[in-house]
Structure 1
Amino acid sequence: MKIFKISLITAILAGFLQAGVLFTPETTVRTAMHLHTTYSYDCTYSVEEIVARAKAKGLDAAIITDHDLIEVKYGVFPLRRILRAGLELNSVFDAGVDKYFSEIESVQEKYPEMLVLPGVETSPFYFWETKSKALVLNDWHKHLLIFGLSAADMKKLPTTGNKNSWKYRPLLLWPLLLVLLGFLFFKRIYLVKFGVVLIIIGGIFLVNNFPFTAPDFDQYSGYQGSRPYQNVIDYTAKRGGFTVWAHPEANSNIDFPVVTSVQGRFFNLGLNLSTPPYPEAITGTENYNGINLLEEGYKTIGRCGGLWDKVLAEYSTGERKVPAFAFGETDYRKEGEGIALDGIQNVVNAKKGDKKEFLKALKDGEFYVLKKGILPAIPVLEEFSEAGNIKISMNDGSKKKLTVTLIKDGFVQQIADGITPFSMEFKVLVPEQGKSYYRLEAVLKDGGMIISNPVFIESSAEKIR
């Protein structure tokens, strides 16, 4: 087994970069991801206000992901499209995708020093079922973040509620048979009444089925596993976009008791919104670009030996074609609620203001995730050189205790305690065949954290990809 030396901490923090690349002020793009504006029903700030706030906090890029569609509907069988009730709140599709993209583009022109990317947070699929006298809306909060698509492609995102993506279904024309049969009955006087009934029934169902389109997966088809989500992932990947799993360890369970009175008697007709954590989606889908490990994805997915390591190992062995990188999200809606706008950052190695280079760096994993601690100072990657001289320091020059954990192929390789500015070298073992990968976690005593993306060591080329 051949051995060569490289500054592994730096290499990992920089993702798939070649040795000798520096995280200079010009090539460090601090990015906030999963931001909501007034295009989402429960948010306070406009697109421009969000971008202005991001700039004021020292961020260089903002990936805005408003809800694409907030609409749930329940219809009574067999006339589900006529006898139905539902809820619809303001969203990107409600306001108009073109308007949404146009406003973000306008703000981008006003703030050329910032990168502002339009995206959406989508619920690809939900389904209804009845449990214990309650109507349950399942998996409504099982979300993907989508960005990097054109407005035209975004309009046709294949989700359950997006009618623009529904396909023509000839079988929905079946009521025509009833209508035709009804007219045939007119040939016999004693069957005319039956014919009229058939025509009326057929007409009602034609109205119900119009315009004879339906989604690939509807809300009455029950649990469908990973298929609806893989459908959205594949659609996005085919068009060059990004798909990132959002808050996969979040638990959303909300009860809405509905009390009604019938002839003086009260009945509790409960409505339950249930989306348990969905870590199984990480291994059950493929070809997505990443997983939001911070804030709600680290406990079972991002930890050493967790599902993220399983996915990375599958990429190393060739079972997966696309590696899943670590992302960080804020799910930001309003200052003072939840995570701060700059509380979790994706630090990308790309030229500031260069959208093409920025997207390529995200696609190649040339970034790391940063979580701020309770103190104002944040850890930064100061140097990355071929000589193996690396430094992790605080942006205000202060001394902070930290613990660095090196992980190789899902197992702890080494743990080192130190004080910033921190520097260290590791020996990288090149596998005799196949690939290995290393990744890094750095935890500060004030709660700050860095999660690197993996660096893969390839035996044949004896280089880092």
Structure 2
Amino acid sequence: MDRRDEQMRSVKRWPLLAVVAVVFLCGAAWRAEAADDRHQLLATVHVHSTASTGDLTIEALAERAEQLGLDVLMLTDNFSLRYEYGLWPLPGLLKRQVRFPSVLEYGIERYLADVADAQSRHPNLIILPGVEVAPYYYWTGSIWGRTLTMHNAQRNLLVLGLDKPEDYRSLPVSGNPDAYSFDWRVAVNGAPILLMVPAVWLWRPLRRSTDRRSPRRMIACMLIVLAVALVVNAWPLSQPAFSSYDDRMGYRPYQALIDDVSAKGGLAFWSMTEARDYHEYTAGPMGTVVVKTEPHPEALVQTTGYAGFGGLYQDTRTSVRPGELWDRLLQLPEHESRTTPVLIGELGFHGSNDAGKELHRLVTALLVKERTVAGVLEALRSGHSYAVGEGDHHVQLRLEEFQVVCLDGTKSASIGDRLDPGGARDLMVRLSITAADHGHHPAKVRVIRSGQVVAQSAGETPFRFDWTDTTAPMNERMAYRVEITGSGELLSNPIFVAPILELKAEG
């Protein structure tokens, strides 16, 4: 009887053990595949339409994007291209203004309405409105000395995620009259109107027989002319966001824009920080006016709160090289009061006449939770993305898998995620690379850990590379990213790995 009871208890244990095993396996599978609940969308970032300096309408861009198989079109039309220069001592009165097509000229409401109309006609394409903004420019030199130079007209940020007209209307940007402010300087600017008081008093004759051409009235007329000139010079009496004659502003205007966009729930990305812009324009007998913007990668350090930066574009780039500026920023302690900058690819598309540019040639691949505007913005903000551009042979790579795993694959993290290995030492990087045309093309892989190239491999697509990191440091936060060349260029955002903890020996 006792033996039979023991057998019955043993039989009853088996279902319980089976349930425990299933739960364990499901948990392991969930941990290993938690990052796989995202799907990939191809987005073109930094596109101009006829609302600013582009050649194609928003509708034409949407049609072309769908034809090329894109999922997301991120418009970044120029917000303001209004410039002016005034001569001292009356720069507001003796000035020359220049305006180019921009969202402010086109109309903010009209711009957003055009985007909404195009979106309704292309439901399979996500169209994200945005603007390219240079919040501040300044002058140095003199037109009389033939040394006049305008600086930083192309020191731009891309602003995305704002969908209300009032959010754009109040952007603190040079040339945006709605961003003008009222302060104590309004009283100073309006003070010349007080000259009208003595002018009126002087105009009134002391005696009825006073000649209308008396010195009193001549002085009164001069005061009236002076008052009007000074008020017109200071008009509008409110103050612009930033003075274009103050060369000591540094990065304050840019930080003000970033803070404003962040407060409204939007995203600000530094655009092409290592590109140089230089032009010379003839000003007749006054000589040549220089318009230039120097490379400014230090912007990534001098400002905080921005979402990321353009790290892949068709120009010189050194900040994304192993161990350079981006890697140094990725290694800053997490308690630092700055967000981790996300890398995006930006095309700078103005039209089909742009040499070597087509909407699909340089894209940002977004790993989204849902195919919506909110899903796109979440992937952008969190760094669940990589940037990829075509090479000379029009081959574009795809990163099908990039994971860091440990504990025999039961713990894993993908692009934009964080892995906590605890005391596990078996860190492995898993990569799977294909080509968009599913063909065989060369691929050279470099695995970069915290700024150092720790592994390299080469092969042909489809290409798989699994590498075990046996040299991972203890008690140190790590960032893994990959750089793939050979057929175009692919740069991933990092996978962060928490410090590996040293396990204390028992006993």
TM class by smaller structure: 0.7 to 0.9
Conservation of the 8 A alpha-carbon contact between 2:172 and 2:256 = yes
Conservation of the 8 A alpha-carbon contact between 1:146 and 1:241 = yes
Q: Percent identity?
A: 26
Number of residue pairs the alignment of both structures matches: 434
CA distance in 2, matches of 1:65, 1:275: 19
Distance 1:175 1:351, change over 3 A: same
Q: 1:172: how far off?
A: 2.1
Match of 1:318 among 335, 338, 360: 335
TM, length-normalised to structure 2: 0.79
Report whether the alignment pairs 1:163 with 2:166. Answer: no
Deviations 1:55-95 (A, max 9, x none): 11111000001111121111122322222112112211101
Q: 1:114: how far off?
A: 0.8
Q: Which residues of 2 match residues 49-448 of structure 1 at below 5 A?
A: 49-130=60-141, 133-149=146-162, 150-169=164-183, 170=186, 171-182=188-199, 193-259=218-284, 267-295=285-313, 299-314=317-332, 316-338=333-355, 339-351=357-369, 353-383=371-401, 387=409, 390-420=431-461, 421-427=463-469, 433=475, 435-444=477-486, 446=487, 448=488
**Larger relative contact order (Cα-Cα within 8 Å, sequence gap ≥ 6):** 1
Give SS of 2:287's match. strand
CA distance in 2, matches of 1:297, 1:102: 33
Deviations 1:353-407 (A, max 9, x none): 3111111111100001111123344221224676475411223332222221122
Give SS of 1:213's match. coil
CA distance in 2, matches of 1:179, 1:147: 49
Q: 1:19: how far off?
A: 4.9
Q: 1:449: how far off?
A: 1.3
**Aligned partner letter, 1:394:** A
Conservation of the 8 A alpha-carbon contact between 2:52 and 2:106 = no
Conservation of the 8 A alpha-carbon contact between 1:128 and 1:219 = yes
Larger mean CA deviation between 206-215 and 320-329 belongs to: 206-215
5+ residue gaps, structure 1, are 1-17, 260-266
**Aligned partner letter, 1:20:** E
Give SS of 1:413's match. strand
- Higher strand content, 1 or 2: 1
TM, length-normalised to structure 1: 0.86
Conservation of the 8 A alpha-carbon contact between 1:21 and 1:384 = no
CA distance in 2, matches of 1:379, 1:258: 48
Give SS of 2:173's match. coil
Conservation of the 8 A alpha-carbon contact between 2:77 and 2:132 = yes
Q: 1:137: how far off?
A: 1.3
**Aligned partner letter, 2:342:** F
CA distance in 2, matches of 1:354, 1:187: 72
**Aligned partner letter, 1:456:** F
Larger mean CA deviation between 199-208 and 227-236 belongs to: 199-208
CA distance in 1, matches of 2:309, 2:364: 12
Distance 1:429 1:102, change over 3 A: farther
CA distance in 2, matches of 1:200, 1:439: 67
**Aligned partner letter, 1:245:** W
Conservation of the 8 A alpha-carbon contact between 1:242 and 1:288 = yes
Q: 1:145: how far off?
A: 0.8
Distance 1:454 1:186, change over 3 A: same
Q: 1:423: how far off?
A: 2.5
Deviations 1:38-62 (A, max 9, x none): 1123x22100111111111111000
Conservation of the 8 A alpha-carbon contact between 1:68 and 1:93 = yes
Conservation of the 8 A alpha-carbon contact between 2:312 and 2:491 = no
Match of 1:456 among 487, 493, 496: 496
CA distance in 1, matches of 2:401, 2:312: 24
Conservation of the 8 A alpha-carbon contact between 1:291 and 1:297 = no
CA distance in 1, matches of 2:99, 2:240: 18
Q: 1:293: how far off?
A: 1.3
CA distance in 1, matches of 2:501, 2:231: 63
Deviations 1:146-168 (A, max 9, x none): 11112211111111111111112
Conservation of the 8 A alpha-carbon contact between 1:119 and 1:148 = yes
